């Protein structure tokens, strides 16, 4: 920003000050602006993806707003700024997943429209000369437009380079055909089998593999391809597995099982023991083309649950594991899992030390076949203490302890996996279902 940009004149300083003031007001609201704009962008269907991409979208939005705020407050010319790292990485991940570039551009247009609406609302709250205000708004509109125009051009260049590179990467040549096959459109099964060598007239086990390294290991896909080969050697039929890298930290995998419908969870655990930085979500064995889609959907639902549970879940988690199918299905419906858990747990669903202790006692008691002695040993308390706590819990739960034991076990498992976000918070300002 310079005097020419401001139009010159004796009031240039006042205009700069007003621009900086409005920039500061954006800065003070940045967490809220980021959350609202992220939610708005997710209304673009191509961009409402799985949790890792949503988290990266949130980081991209936040870093872009932060850059614009500093541009306004400190009068930094657009040609002196650098693209935010999170914004670049988000564009690269979209390219890796084949998301159309116009969806990325639309997200930035949406961001520009939203921020200018907020700026106009803030300007109305400031008691300033009308002419100065209009000049300040013009400066902000020009700066934001220049930034959005520059960042879109920069990211589109990076996007196209990455898209070209990714299209020739091993495991991605048939990705467009695979996406069509999963959606049930525009894909010939014989053509797909001829292209990939993978056969559909058999049982399949679908997996999602992902990097558990928060810093992002550079050779994650190399490790995942090794896992696919080792699994094929261990449980496959001698035909190649189907491997598709989704981005540099996530891959989809199908293992052909021929006529064998058995689960392969134990074998997956054995193989991944050598790859502690990689996690695996495993679907159930399913047959035919519809089974190919079902086992993949099961693995993806399990993957979403595993991401939400973070380090509270095992390295390998299967859709067929106790409670996983129900919890993962409820997790797909906003608020449904929260409501169900709170209904089942009743007074035990509060976020208080007493309720947490009661949940721990009840869960341990149920796991130990309602043995007071075994529970006391597990919790390292006196047997009579356990008996007293269970009597209190039984009174709080009315008939649920006898009639809804399975529900109680599942609700307690959900709390273990997903933490206190499922429970009734005394802070009324906390959003339901917030993670």
For 136-142, what is the mean pLDDT? 94
pLDDT tens digits along 307-359:
888 888 899 999 999 889 989 988 887 688 888 888 888 888 888 888 889 99
Q: Is the pLDDT of residue 68 over 70?
A: yes
CA distances from 339 to 57, 275, 333, 421, 433 (A): 27, 37, 11, 11, 9
- CATH class belonging to 175-327: alpha beta
Taking the CA atoms of residue 268, residue 273, residue 274 and residue 278 in that order, the dihedral angle to the nearest 10 degrees is 70
Q: Is the pLDDT of residue 402 over 80?
A: no
In the prediction, which pLDDT does 258 show? 87
- CATH class belonging to 3-167: mainly alpha
Q: Are 107 and 41 in contact (CB under 8 A)?
A: yes
b/e sequence 10-40, b meaning 16+ C-beta within 10 Å: ebeebbbebbbbbbebbbeeeeebbeebbee
pLDDT tens digits along 5-16:
555 554 688 899
In the prediction, which pLDDT does 215 show? 62
Three-state SS for 203?
Answer: strand
Burial class (CB within 10 angstroms; exposed 0-12, middle 13-18, buried 19+) of 407: middle
For helices 383-397 and 372-379, the axis angle rounded to 10 degrees is 110
2 band by pLDDT with thresholds 50, 70 and 90: very low
Q: Is the pLDDT of residue 298 over 80?
A: yes
Taking the CA atoms of residue 325, residue 328, residue 329 and residue 335 in that order, the dihedral angle to the nearest 10 degrees is 150
Count the helix, strand and coil residues of the chain and give each as a percent rounded to the nearest 5: 65, 10, 25
Does an H or E element contain 279, and which?
strand 278-282
Structure tokens at 100: 């159309």
Q: How many CA atoms lie within 13 A of 39 on its CB side?
A: 6
Beta bridge partners of 243: 253
User: In the chain, where are the structural domains located?
Assistant: 3-167, 175-327, 336-422
CB-based contacts of 417, cutoff 8 Å, min separation 6: 305, 308, 309, 312, 313, 327
Does an H or E element contain 368, and which?
none
Three-state SS for 258?
Answer: strand
Structure tokens at 123: 């300007």
In the prediction, which pLDDT does 168 show? 64
Taking the CA atoms of residue 307, residue 312, residue 314 and residue 316 in that order, the dihedral angle to the nearest 10 degrees is -10
Cα distance between residue 244 and residue 254, in whole Å: 9
């Amino acid at each position: 920003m310079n005097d020419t940009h401001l139009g010159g004149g004796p009031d240039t300083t006042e205009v700069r000050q007003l621009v900086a003031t409005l920039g500061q007001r954006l800065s003070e609201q940045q967490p809220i602006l980021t959350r609202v704009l992220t939610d708005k962008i997710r209304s673009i269907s191509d961009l409402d993806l799985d949790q890792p991409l949503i988290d990266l979208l949130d980081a991209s939005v936040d870093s872009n707003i932060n850059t614009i705020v500093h541009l306004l407050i400190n009068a930094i010319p657009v040609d002196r700024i650098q693209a935010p790292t999170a914004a670049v990485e988000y564009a690269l991940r979209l390219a890796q997943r084949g998301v159309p570039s116009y969806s990325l551009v639309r997200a930035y247009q949406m961001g520009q429209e939203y921020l200018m609406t907020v700026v106009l609302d803030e300007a109305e709250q400031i008691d300033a000369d009308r002419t100065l205000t209009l000049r300040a708004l013009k400066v902000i509109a020009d700066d934001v437009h220049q930034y959005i125009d520059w960042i879109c051009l920069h990211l589109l260049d990076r996007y196209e380079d990455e898209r070209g590179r990714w299209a020739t990467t091993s495991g991605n040549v048939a990705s467009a055909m695979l996406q069509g096959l999963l959606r049930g459109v525009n894909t010939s099964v014989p053509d797909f089998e001829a292209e990939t060598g993978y056969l559909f007239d058999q049982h399949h086990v679908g997996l999602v593999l992902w990097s558990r390294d928060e810093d992002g290991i550079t050779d994650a896909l190399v490790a995942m391809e090794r896992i696919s080969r080792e699994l094929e050697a261990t449980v496959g039929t001698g035909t190649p597995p189907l491997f598709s890298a989704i981005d540099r930290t996530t891959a989809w995998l199908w293992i052909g099982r021929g006529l064998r419908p058995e689960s392969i969870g134990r074998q997956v655990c054995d193989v991944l023991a050598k790859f502690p930085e990689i996690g695996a979500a495993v679907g159930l064995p399913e047959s035919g083309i519809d089974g190919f889609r079902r086992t993949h959907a099961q693995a993806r639902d399990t993957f979403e649950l595993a991401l939400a549970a973070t380090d509270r879940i095992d390295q390998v988690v299967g859709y067929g594991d106790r409670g996983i199918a129900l919890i993962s299905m409820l997790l797909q419906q906003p608020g449904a899992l929260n409501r169900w858990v709170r209904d089942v747990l009743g007074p035990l669903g509060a976020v208080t030390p007493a309720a947490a202790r009661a949940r721990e006692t009840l869960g341990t008691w149920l796991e130990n076949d309602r043995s007071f002695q075994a529970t006391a040993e597990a919790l390292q308390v006196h047997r009579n203490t356990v008996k007293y706590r269970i009597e209190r819990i039984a009174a709080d739960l009315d008939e649920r302890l006898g009639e809804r034991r399975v529900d109680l076990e599942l609700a307690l498992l959900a709390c273990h996996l997903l933490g206190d976000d499922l429970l009734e918070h005394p802070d009324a300002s906390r959003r339901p279902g917030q993670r």
